[in-house]
């Protein structure tokens, strides 16, 4: 366990139900009785009423200024992409500022990319050296944000790239799995295993171990948000052992909600499609629409500076989400330094001010 995560857990014991010693995550304060009866049901109720959250895409790709798919779109080989870690200082990543901004925006939760498709980890994982604590930053950014969220009553959600990995030697390849499983390099990538040498089980074990590690280090997380579902659903799906992973998640943290984009097994707790929800009628389970403040791309894209979405556009997104009904998970891509994008800071504050002045009923009318 990281020292910071451990300290946060000790300082923030959460709430307990009446006459009970049951631990409850701080963000669910006021729901003690419901939590005591059924932690996951109580968490779903909380999620349905949350309305609005902050999505953060931050990692090595932020240094390129070309979005979170830079390694694939630029066909950067593994060794060349890894050199970005030598410049990863995160000197302006400020968890205190980020959580204050979320509160100013009237958001109820934060979701951050713990590990995107490039496989660079923002926490002190023991399963790879490709991580923020092994870079010039020497910081566990997930622990820092987790601590501040718990301190301020915000729910903390963990994005984790499950199906897609562009670094791990045994991760799915394009031939069997498709779905942009790996970049299409002009020459073979020496870091990857091919043919009989590739063993998907080694990769799946890595996934299981990392998810279990995250849940151990950060016990008061509201949800785990898995990405890359098009890869396992296009290949030998059973090899990913998802039922086993789901069971471990719910056993490890009984209150924790689980999503895998539009759903894979059908047993996910909520759906999280991008930008809009296509099926007609009332969603079959809680719904979250994720969208971005840039015109496209989730990670920082320099070409879009000066073109980010406005307060009016965000309010329009909130109205549309409420009609499903759904939460809006609104993404911002910090600069390579970790500083929150200045255009987004201004817009988020303006939206929050309008919510306070008009109330949610006035905003969504």
The DSSP secondary-structure symbol of 55 reads: E
Q: Is 237 helix (H, G, I), strand (E, B) or coil?
A: helix
Q: Is the pLDDT of residue 332 over 60?
A: yes
The DSSP secondary-structure symbol of 234 reads: G
Q: Is the pLDDT of residue 325 over 80?
A: yes
Burial of 116 (0-12, 13-18, 19+ CB in 10 A): buried
CATH number, position 63: 3.20.20.80
Residue ranges of E strands in 39-192: 52-56, 109-115, 155-161
Dist. CA 77–CA 167, nearest whole Å: 9
What pLDDT is stored for residue 202 in this prediction?
Answer: 98
What pLDDT is stored for residue 18 in this prediction?
Answer: 41
| Model pLDDT for residues 269-292, shown as the tens digit of each residue | 999 999 988 877 778 899 999 999
The DSSP secondary-structure symbol of 310 reads: P
What is the pTM assigned to this prediction?
A: 0.93
Dist. CA 134–CA 219, nearest whole Å: 23
- For 329, phi and psi rounded to 5 degrees? -105, 105
Reply yes or no: is the peptide bond before residue 325 cis, omega within 30 of 0: yes
Check if the beta carbon of residue 158 is closer than 8 Å to that of residue 223: yes
Burial of 342 (0-12, 13-18, 19+ CB in 10 A): exposed
Q: Which domain holds residue 168?
A: 3-364
- pLDDT above 70 covers a percentage of the chain that reads 94
**Residue 177 neighbours by CB distance under 10 Å:** 24
* Total tally of structural domains belonging to the chain: 1
What pLDDT is stored for residue 235 in this prediction?
Answer: 84
Q: Positive or negative, the Cα torsion across 201, 180, 53, 346?
A: positive
Alpha helices in 218-279 (DSSP H): 242-252
Q: How far apart are the first and last CA of the chain?
A: 46
Residue the block writes with tokens 């719904």 = 287
Dist. CA 237–CA 264, nearest whole Å: 10
| Region of residue 119 (phi > 0: left; psi between -120 and 50: alpha; otherwise: beta) | left
Task: Give mean pLDDT, residues 27-46.
Answer: 96
Residue 7 banded pLDDT, cuts 50, 70, 90: very low
What pLDDT is stored for residue 73 in this prediction?
Answer: 96
Q: Is the pLDDT of residue 14 over 80?
A: no
Alpha helices in 25-156 (DSSP H): 32-37, 39-48, 61-64, 70-73, 78-82, 95-104, 141-152
What pLDDT is stored for residue 21 in this prediction?
Answer: 55
| Model pLDDT for residues 177-199, shown as the tens digit of each residue | 987 999 999 999 999 999 999 99
Check if the beta carbon of residue 9 is closer than 8 Å to that of residue 219: yes
Looking at the DSSP bridge assignments, the partners of residue 131 are 121
Residue 19 banded pLDDT, cuts 50, 70, 90: very low
């Amino acid at each position: 366990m990281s020292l910071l995560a451990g300290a946060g857990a000790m300082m923030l014991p959460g709430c307990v139900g009446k006459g009970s010693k049951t631990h409850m995550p701080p963000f669910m304060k006021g729901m003690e009785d419901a939590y005591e009866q059924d932690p996951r049901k109580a968490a779903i109720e909380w999620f349905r009423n949350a309305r609005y959250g902050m999505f953060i895409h931050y990692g090595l790709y932020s240094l390129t200024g070309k979005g979170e798919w830079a390694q694939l779109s630029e066909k950067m080989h593994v060794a060349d992409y890894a050199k970005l870690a030598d410049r990863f200082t995160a000197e302006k990543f400020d968890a205190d500022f980020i959580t204050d901004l979320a509160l100013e925006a009237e958001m109820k939760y934060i979701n951050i990319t713990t590990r995107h498709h490039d496989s660079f980890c923002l926490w002190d994982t023991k399963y790879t050296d490709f991580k923020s604590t092994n870079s010039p930053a020497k910081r566990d950014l997930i622990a820092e944000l987790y601590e501040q969220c718990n301190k301020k009553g915000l729910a903390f959600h963990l994005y984790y790239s499950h199906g897609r990995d562009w670094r791990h030697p045994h991760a799915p390849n394009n031939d069997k799995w498709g779905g942009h499983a790996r970049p299409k390099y002009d020459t073979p990538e020496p870091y990857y295993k091919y043919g009989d040498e590739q063993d998907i089980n080694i990769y799946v074990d890595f996934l299981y171990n990392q998810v279990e590690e995250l849940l151990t280090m950060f016990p008061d997380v509201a949800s785990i948000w898995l990405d890359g579902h098009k890869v396992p659903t296009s290949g030998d799906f059973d090899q990913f052992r998802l039922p086993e992973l789901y069971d471990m998640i719910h056993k490890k943290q009984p209150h924790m909600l689980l999503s895998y984009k539009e759903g894979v097994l059908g047993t996910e707790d909520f759906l999280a499609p991008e930008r809009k929800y296509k099926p007609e009628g009332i969603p079959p389970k809680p719904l979250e629409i994720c969208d971005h403040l840039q015109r496209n791309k989730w990670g920082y894209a320099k070409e879009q500076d000066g073109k980010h979405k406005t307060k009016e556009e965000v309010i329009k997104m909130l109205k549309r989400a409420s009609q499903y009904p759904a939460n809006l998970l609104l993404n911002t891509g910090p600069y390579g330094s970790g500083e929150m994008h200045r255009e987004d800071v201004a817009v988020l504050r303006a939206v929050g001010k309008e919510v306070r002045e008009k109330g949610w009923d006035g905003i969504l009318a």
